[in-house]
Amino acid sequence: MRNRPIPEATVARLPMYLRSLLDLAEGRGVMTVSSEELARLAGVNAAKVRKDLSYLGSYGTRGVGYDVEYLLYQITRELGLTQDWPTAMIGIGNLGRALASYKGFAERGFRITALFDADDNVIGEEVGGIIVRHIDELKEAVAEEGLCIGIISTPPSGAQEVAEKLVDAGIKSILNFAPSHVNVPPDVNVRRVDLSVELQILSFYQQRTKAIETAREANRRLENQQTDRR
């Protein structure tokens, strides 16, 4: 099991286990955790937890559980979070500003160390302690400062162009907050976070349950009518 490639689905869950483990570690005294409890905390089922963790290696002890600290370290290492990945953000509008000063990133070890924009009115401004530079300085900055990850927080119309500039600068990992699809070479990894897509999905299910309720109600009324007639 240990040497097989880790399934994508598992990788996507590792951060959740990591968070749950951090919570446990903070509450002092918790030395070990069972797959059952970790599952409850992370909101998945226990078998999945065990299988996921088994891809990393046999880090548990039968009859006891997993050592919190040790597991914490292993997941951190596996996710590549033992080193830090200097991150650039491009597009310092409303959303970009909020993200740049979002504490959640820093807490989880991601330092946004460079900000870029194309708008001269924004360039030179200081956001979260960092000066915004012109996008044309991107390539040079990547080379000099070892930037590894790019965050796109421009409006959708500019996303593709920015993505190309990031690729050109040598960046292989991109997080795209703009609600549009960007095309990149196959060796570049893009992940998209679309804030309103999630709302739209909620809307779908909300509508469906409402439709079901309405149908039930109609049914009930119909049945009542029939009962009345008899």
Binding site for DNA (CB under 7 A): 1, 7-10, 33-36, 44-48, 50-51, 53-54, 58-66
Task: Examine residue 11 and tell whether it contacts its own copies (CB under 8 A).
Answer: yes
| Residue 130 sits in the site that holds its own copies (CB under 8 A) | no
Asked if 204 touches its own copies (CB under 8 A), the answer is: yes
Tell me whether residue 9 or residue 195 sits nearer to DNA (CB atom).
9
- 163 makes contact, choosing from DNA, its own copies, none, with CB < 5 to 8 Å by partner type, with none
Q: Any contact of residue 54 with its own copies (CB under 8 A)?
A: no
Q: What is the 3-state secondary structure (H, E, C) of the chain?
A: CCCCCCCHHHHHHHHHHHHHHHHHHHCCCCCEECHHHHHHHHCCCHHHHHHHHHHHCCCEECCCEEEHHHHHHHHHHHCCCCCCCCEEEECCCHHHHHHHCCHHHHHCCCCEEEEEECCCCCCCCEECCEEEEEHHHHHHHHHHHCCCEEEECCCHHHHHHHHHHHHHCCCCEEEECCCCCCCCCCCCEEEECCHHHHHHHHHHHHHHHHHHHHHHHHHHHHHHHHHHHC
Smallest distance from DNA to CB 6, Å = 9
Cα(168)–Cα(150) distance, integer angstroms: 12
State which of residues 19, 51, 216, 220 lies at the interface with its own copies (CB under 8 A): 19
209 binds its own copies (CB under 8 A): yes
Tell me how far, at minimum, the Cβ of 15 lies from its own copies, in Å. 4
Shortest Å distance, C-beta 39 to DNA: 9
The yes or no reply on residue 214 touching its own copies (CB under 8 A) is no
Which residues are bridge partners to 87 per DSSP? 112, 149
Kindly tell me which of 80 and 124 has the beta carbon lying closer to its own copies: 80
Interface with its own copies by CB under 8 A: which residues? 11-12, 14-16, 18-20, 23, 41-43, 78-81, 83, 85, 87, 94-95, 97-99, 101-105, 107-108, 110, 148-149, 172-175, 179-181, 183, 187, 189, 191, 193-209
